Amino acid sequence: MTRTLVRDVTMQTGSTVTVSGWVNSRRDHGGLIFIDLRDHTGLVQLVINPEAAAAFALAEGVRDEYVLSAEGIVKERDESLKNPHIATGGIEIVAETLTLLNKSEPLPVSVQDDGQQSGEELRLKYRYLDLRRPKMQERLRQRARMYRVMRDYMDGLDFTEITTPILANSSPEGARDFLVPARLHPGKFYALPQAPQQFKQLLMVGGVARYYQLAAAFRDEDSRADRLYGEFYQLDMEMAFVEDGETIRSLMEPLIKSLVTDFGGKKLLSDVVPRIPYQEAMDRFGSDKPDLRFGMELTDLSDTLRSTEFGVFKNTLENGGVVKAIRVEGGAGLSRSQIDNFTDIAKSEGAGGLAYIKYENGEPVSPIAKFLTADELAAIQERTGATDGDAVFFGTDARVTVNKVLGRLRDAFADHFGLKDPSVIALAWIVDFPFYELDEKSGKLDFGHNPFSMPRGGAAAVEAAEDKLTIVADQYDMVMNGYEICSGGVRNHNPETLYKVFGVLGYDEAYVEAKFGAMINAFKFGAPPHAGCAFGIDRMFMELVGEDNIREVVAFPKNGSGVDAMMQSPSIVDDSQLRDLSLVIKTVE
């Protein structure tokens, strides 16, 4: 007995077929029973007449989500009975035999897309039921298609997919590791890789030249709406004999564009993907991952207001801070309580408050207007381009704080005014990240992004720079609608330069060798220059299919506190397992 898929049933009109699936719904008319049977290809209506006595008797006891097999003749429906809303609505199967393959208790969550959707907590606990929903089925298939597009593209460019170890080593930089106790080496641990970074660089030394991988990455950091707890997937790639990031960017860009348009069916804001230096992005958008679907660029008014007598601005400017502004079109219509909400957002990012000017009936209306001269008010309006109906919001503080505050507000205003067109994807490369940055708390110099990237100009430039903060790395992120979807860089393949960049932070050669022995060693044996990057697949997919929660695009995600509500992991293990691992559990404060 061969089974026919529901989507193919129409082609079998007039023949006898066998279909199998779940009872999507049952409509019992007393002397006639309809069952909508669902498989992974769609729905089809079974008609069960009393003449098929055994089938009819069984159908009377059938409930939603029972698993059935049905054999019967595919019959074209009378015109008046056709249902244009479903793909198989032109036909129905007149069942001759029904076989009950399995029963089902009433479901704790809905498996229909429409109507009430259960809370996420329940959906995750019963994920196997949630996955029956057509939308979730489609997500899983779409994701597989995206994998295929990426693999086809990389294979076509002669890249080789290589799987790197999951049992790897703890890395001192970056996120918190997941540790795995090593049974054969009591007291020692593997770590799950935060990224295949070191392995892929070693592949370059190994002569692979063009590597990629759809790689699992593991990080034990708290989750967010756009950040999974624990594990996620990257399109990780690396390429030898590349000395500038532009080579990588222009190599990967067509793939992403095609994912946006061909795969995602979205419009690109611009076919030219801008390259925006990090500092410029911070100054113009207040973010290193700006959403470019809308404008609202920040205006620096520090020079304009250099001689103001308004105390708040004056003090900040005298202390080396800045005054910047953001013009919000239509912002004059914001209510007091709405502005209070934006003020709270500003404060959460470190602002003391949120000054603003509304432009109504040709007049600047503002609590601070009386502290500003007419010339200053005119200059503010001219510089920001504000017109009637707009509002201008000010940030005044140290430059980094102001950028952060206004960047966050820019995003919040865009949400409020609905400026994020879901059918449009705006891409950008953020380039030239600072190699070093100042740690805010300690005030000490630290690596900005990744210590393994090449400082522009190499060791000589590091040596020569008086202010180490001015050293730039050939390091780049790709941004998609305000989400960072890729990070990469030209790597430092030179042992001497590696020692140098660590030396600036006070680490000696012995430290570097202890921490990154394999890589340093490898680099002594003819390491080619190389560069690469890694795209966050889950996050990219989420944006392409228009979800705003990343758990929606993963089959079995953990919840926000790292618990798999379905499998109940993590869990307690047997004492014998701990003994094997030479471990004793002792809870510490």
Binding site for RNA (CB under 7 A): 25, 27-32, 34, 36, 45, 47, 49-50, 63-64, 77, 81-83, 85-86, 89, 92, 106, 108-110, 115-122, 173-176, 194-195, 197, 219, 221-227, 348, 440-441, 449-450, 452, 477, 484, 487-489, 534, 549, 551, 559-561, 563
Comparison of 16 and 348: residue with beta carbon closer to RNA? 348
d(CA 210, CA 216): 19
d(CA 391, CA 381): 10
Nearer to RNA by C-beta: 18 or 559?
Answer: 559
Q: Taking a C-beta distance cutoff of 8 angstroms, is the pair 380, 387 a contact?
A: no
CB of 194 to RNA, least distance (A): 6
User: Collapsing DSSP states into helix, strand and coil, what is residue 79?
Assistant: helix
Q: Can you give 378-417 as a three-state secondary structure string?
A: HHHHHHHCCCCCCEEEEEEECHHHHHHHHHHHHHHHHHHC
- How would you write 137-181 as a 3-class SS string? HHHHHHHHHHHHHHHHHHHHCCCEECCCCCCECCCCCCCCCCEEE
Would you say 222 or 244 has its CB closer to RNA?
222
Non-local (6+) Cβ contacts of 82 within 8 A are: 89, 90
Distance CA 538, CA 461 (A): 37
Residue type, 240: A
Q: Supply the minimum distance, in Å, between the C-beta of residue 304 and RNA.
A: 29
Q: How far is the CB of 279 from RNA (least distance, A)?
A: 18
CB of 331 to RNA, least distance (A): 22
Which among 449, 477, 354 has a CA at the least distance from the CA of 408? 354
* Cα 514 from Cα 492, distance rounded (Å): 18
| 425 neighbors 266 (Cβ within 8 angstroms) | yes
Cα separation of 312 and 121, whole Å? 47
Complex with RNA: residue 392 or 486, whichever CB lies closer:
486
Write down the least CB distance from residue 82 to RNA, Å.
Answer: 6
Give the nearer residue to RNA in terms of CB position, either 37 or 259. Answer: 37
Nearer to RNA, 390 or 477 (CB): 477
* C-alpha count within 13 angstroms, C-beta hemisphere, residue 70: 35
CA distance 559 to 11: 44
**357 vs 406 by CB, closer to RNA:** 406
**Shortest Å distance, C-beta 52 to RNA:** 11
- Is the CB of 83 or the CB of 258 nearer to RNA? 83
- Cα 406 to Cα 282: distance, rounded to the nearest angstrom: 10
Beta-carbon contacts of 527 under 8 Å, excluding residues fewer than 6 positions away, are 201, 204, 205, 493, 494
What is the identity of the amino acid at 40? Answer: H
DSSP for 535-581, written as a single string: EEHHHHHHHHTT-SSGGGGSSS---TTS-BTTTTBS----HHHHHHT
CB 220 within 8 A of CB 212: no
Residue closer to RNA, measured from CB, 33 or 259: 33
Q: Which is nearer to RNA, 36 or 71 (CB)?
A: 36
Please, what is the minimum distance in Å from the beta carbon of residue 413 to RNA?
Answer: 16
- As measured in angstroms, the least distance from the Cβ of 505 to RNA is 15
For residues 195 and 240, which CB has a smaller minimum distance to RNA in the complex? 195
Q: In the complex, what is the shortest distance from the CB of residue 558 to RNA, in angstroms, rounded to a whole number?
A: 8
Minimum CB–partner distance for residue 339 and RNA (Å): 17
The CA-atom distances, in angstroms, between 194 and each of 20, 213, 220, 248, 557 are 43, 14, 9, 22, 17
3-state SS string for 219-276: ECCCCECCECCEEEEEEEEEEECCCCHHHHHHHHHHHHHHHHHHHCCCEECCCCCCEE
Select 274 or 560, whichever has its Cβ closest to RNA.
560
In angstroms, give the least distance from the CB of 464 to RNA. Answer: 25
Amino acid occupying residue 302: S
Give the shortest CB-133-to-RNA separation in angstroms. 13
Closer CB to RNA, 106 or 418, in the complex: 106
Query: From the CB of 292, what's the least distance to RNA, in Å?
Result: 18
Backbone angles phi, psi at 272, to 5 degrees: -90, 120
User: Torsion angle of alpha carbons 258, 264, 270, 275, nearest 10°?
Assistant: -70
> The tokens 């009975």 sit on which residue?
81
